[in-house]
Structure 1
Amino acid sequence: MTIAQDVTSQITRLRQHVADLHRELPRNALVVWTAGNVSARVPDADLLVIKPSGVGYDELSADNMVVADLDGNLVDGAYKPSSDTAAHAYVYRHMPHIGGVVHTHSTYATAWSARGEAIPCVLTAMADEFGGEIPVGPFALIGDDSIGRGIVETLSGHRSPAVLMRSHGVFTIGRSARDAVKAAVMCEDVARTVHIARQLGTPLPIEEHHIDALYARYQNVYGQSQPA
């Protein structure tokens, strides 16, 4: 496959960006050993950048990030792509507005997935970031696009950028890879808090109209406006 020069420059930038974002996963205690991955869509090309399979986080660099097409096939790189590449590729094929995908086995969120239970929206931080509960996706085996299908089916029409794939772990999506990493960090944070709250009693649900108002404010007002 011949890659245009302007796309090559995008890939070079994204290889470094994706390598840097992978450091956020162990830094935020979202992964152990070589588990988990971050990918980014290459703009204006049917390509993605993702980590290589089975390579430790301390060894990751821009040079060993790999490029795959949106069918999950290796396009460029000296290593095999992550075993989750087919799932990431399926998401990009079917959710064209998505620019980044993250997968983790973070402890508390994965514990919810092991129970096959959605995380209820009982925190304003959840309303802000997820717009409601964090849903559970179906059980699916690793290796083909079955996980990707489950992600798309669960999150299509849902405000949450995170899904708990049953008995597996967390997948998050975002307009950018950085947004997807943030969603993964926030997912684990609220999963832990809600778990602790349930040890103390029954968490109180937030009314739907309050969730809507909190989500709208956070998505449209919170933070700094972009410069003109």
Structure 2
Amino acid sequence: MNSRVRELKETVCALHAELVRYDLVAWTAGNVSGRVPGEDLFVIKPSGVSYDDLTPESIVVCDLDGNLVEGDYAPSSDTAAHAYVYRAMPHVGGVVHTHSTYASAWAARGEAIPCVLTAMADEFGGEIPVGPFALIGGDDIGKGIVATLEGHRSPAVLMQNHGVFSIGASAKAAVKAAVMCEDVARTVHISRQLGTPLPIAQADIDSLYDRYQNVYGQRSSR
């Protein structure tokens, strides 16, 4: 096992704790994967293993066709979906799947989350879209993710009747998108209980997105 795979296993293992920390998963549901830099490989959570029992050594390595390359466990049941995303979207370095409560409630309705919060404009650049219903196991979910997110600024998609899939330049970025997706799903749901949420003008969404993506936070002086 080379050092890049070892480091990524450690990172992805640790990121699963963030799914638990932010109440995005129950029991053994959900998973995080990360693309191995410079190789046609990714690492992913093994199927049905408790979050408490996860170790870097239990994280498995797969090729971009979803075949197990290294590890003692069967990979996640969502492996084919992750693999399809990595094959179709070379810029993606991490994929996350959760059944977080509020976002999955929107998915059960087959309804996109409208962009009515500045935090949504910042992170998602607009609404969080809905992808098609697809059965678990094959790459139909992956196809739905890619078809929905291609050309869309959102790093998260609500797969109808299922839950959240998020992508990012890294596994950490994909986890952040999953956390933010649940946060805004909850807030917008509560807002609708109080009345009709007010939309944000597209020009303002564009301005907020540009600021957050290109100005916000600490920037290198180089």
Q: Kindly report the root-mean-square deviation, in angstroms, between the aligned alpha carbons of the 2 structures.
A: 0.7
Q: Deviations over 1:73-97 (max 9, x none)?
A: 0000000000000000000000000
Q: Deviations over 1:81-115 (max 9, x none)?
A: 00000000000000000000000000000000000
Aligned partner (choices 72, 75, 80) of residue 81 of structure 1: 75
Amino acid at match of 1:133: E
What is the match of residue 46 of structure 1? 40
Query: Scaled by the length of structure 1, what TM-score is found?
Result: 0.96
What is the match of residue 103 of structure 2? 109
Q: Deviations over 1:18-63 (max 9, x none)?
A: 0000000010000000000000000111100000000000000101
Aligned partner (choices 135, 141, 145) of residue 129 of structure 2: 135
Q: Does 1:28 align with 2:22?
A: yes
Q: Provide the identity percentage.
A: 74
d(CA) in 1 for partners of 2:163 and 2:142? 13
Q: Does 1:202 align with 2:187?
A: no
1:58-97 mapped onto 2 (5 Å cutoff): 58-97=52-91
Amino acid at match of 1:118: A
Q: Does 1:190 align with 2:184?
A: yes
What is the match of residue 171 of structure 1? 165
Which consecutive segments of 4 or more residues in structure 1 shift more than 4 A?
A: none
d(CA) in 2 for partners of 1:59 and 1:225? 37
Deviation at 1:9, TM superposition (A): 1.2
Tell me: CA distance 1:67–1:227, structure 2 relative to 1, closer, same or farther (3 Å): farther
Amino acid at match of 2:189: H
Amino acid at match of 1:84: D
Deviation at 1:227, TM superposition (A): 5.0
d(CA) in 2 for partners of 1:227 and 1:95? 30
What is the match of residue 154 of structure 1? 148
Q: Does 1:225 align with 2:210?
A: no
5+ unaligned residues in a row in structure 1: which ranges? none
Amino acid at match of 1:30: L
Amino acid at match of 1:141: L
SS in 2 for 1:63: coil
d(CA) in 2 for partners of 1:227 and 1:150? 40
Amino acid at match of 2:138: D
Deviation at 1:226, TM superposition (A): 2.5
Amino acid at match of 1:46: D
d(CA) in 2 for partners of 1:226 and 1:126? 25
d(CA) in 2 for partners of 1:99 and 1:133? 22
SS in 2 for 1:23: helix
5+ unaligned residues in a row in structure 2: which ranges? none
Give the paired residue count.
Answer: 222
